[in-house]
Amino acid sequence: MRKLEQYQPEKQKKGKQTGLISVIVTVYNIREYLPKAVDSILSSTYQNLEVLLIDDGSTDGSERICDEYAKKDGRVRVVHQRNGGAYSARNTGLLEAKGDYLTFVDGDDWIEPQMYETLLAAMMEQDADLAVCRYRKIYENRRVDLSTPMAAVFEGQELLAKYLEEDEAWLIQTAVWNKLWKRSLSDGLRFPKSLYEDMYFTIRLLAKSKRSVYLDWAMYNYVCSRATSTTNIGLNEKTFNDLIPNFYERSAFLREIGREDLALLQDYFLYKRLLLFYTAVCRSQDPKKKEHKAFLQQKIEAGKDCYAAVYGIPQASSQEYRKMKLFLKSPVLYRAAMRLNDSFLIPIKVAMANRRHR
């Protein structure tokens, strides 16, 4: 990895914007949000765009809004299809796209005008096949933006490794919407039928990259406040049927490509999550609490033979290993320790930290 502390790619004049960028927007009953998303794309300082609006069987008027944009701007192309879910609409977009470069925008988010010009310029200057930017989190009453002027160039699978570390200082994210890549990078790659289809797609995209560039300033606006958003859904059946299996699938993929080191890193965060899910289920009003507790306990105990390797990686926390050992000894003792930790120890630590900062 090579850091660029103060980096600003050169602006691209309109006459030199020769590479076609396909922006794929999946649309399903988002009439209230869609115009802002599409307007932000069409206002991009990079003008050589193909905007693909994939209407996934909308019934709220979103389909008509798509057609109106196609009539107003020749860069917009609409595909109407029967409702098949987000993964199906995204795959349609990949098949229909004609661009040299590909990206996605969720229909309830919006982008900054310079996003694609900046990402593509950085790719060209650094001879990269993939670019990623930080994003701004949009809540109902606040915005979170930790942008800096820093950038970094990653060789081979270095960006994949950084992504798997889940370090919030590097907002790489599982999503495809804060990334721009050469078309060849995703040739033959499709989204699976899953609520968390990005997890499958992104890890493979990053694994194929030969050189990538990360820009640490927010050019994508991600709306976090929609209650119906997939990412805002709490612990439920999808956690057990889609999310957890996806984590196991990612570990298997990393081993398939010969990255046992990264598979162990992925496993570390998987087992950390399983313990968190177990605690959450125990404290919930889940009607299937007994079933879900048994499922999680079985998954956690099934991995015990590999825990020495998993918790032996440099990124692993000794505290997390102690939690796991306690759980394996007695889930009852583990639950009691977590209640003690949350009720007494954490408040004490927070109070002490506040005193130090006065």
Q: How far apart are CA 191 and CA 94, in angstroms?
A: 10
The predicted pLDDT at position 194 comes to 86
The predicted pLDDT at position 234 comes to 58
The predicted pLDDT at position 128 comes to 98
The predicted pLDDT at position 355 comes to 52
Phi-psi region of 244 (alpha: psi -120 to 50; beta: other; left: phi over 0): alpha
Contact 77, 52 (CB under 8 A): yes
Phi, psi (degrees; rounded to nearest 5) at 132: -130, 140
**pTM of the predicted model, to two decimals?**
0.90
Q: How far apart are CA 60 and CA 40, in angstroms?
A: 21
Residues in the chain: 358
Contact 27, 68 (CB under 8 A): no
What does DSSP assign to residue 14?
G
DSSP bridge pairs for 131: 180, 213
The predicted pLDDT at position 229 comes to 43
Unique residue bearing structure tokens 């919030």 = 168
Q: What is the dihedral of CA 124, 125, 127, 129, to 10 degrees?
A: -50
Please report, in tens digits, the pLDDT of each residue of the chain (358 residues total).
999 998 989 887 777 899 999 999 999 999 999 999 999 999 999 999 999 999 999 999 999 999 999 999 999 999 999 999 999 999 999 999 999 999 999 999 999 999 999 999 999 999 999 999 999 999 988 999 999 999 999 999 999 999 999 988 899 999 999 999 999 999 999 999 988 899 999 999 999 999 999 999 999 999 986 544 434 335 788 899 999 999 999 999 999 999 999 999 999 999 999 999 999 999 888 899 999 999 999 999 999 999 999 999 999 999 999 999 999 999 999 999 888 877 654 444 444 444 544 4
The predicted pLDDT at position 225 comes to 66
Which domains can be identified in the chain, with CATH numbers?
Answer: 2-230 (3.90.550.10), 234-356 (no CATH)
> At 47, which amino acid appears?
Q
Q: Is the dihedral of CA 143, 148, 149, 150 positive or negative?
A: negative
Retrieve residue 288's tokens.
């299937």
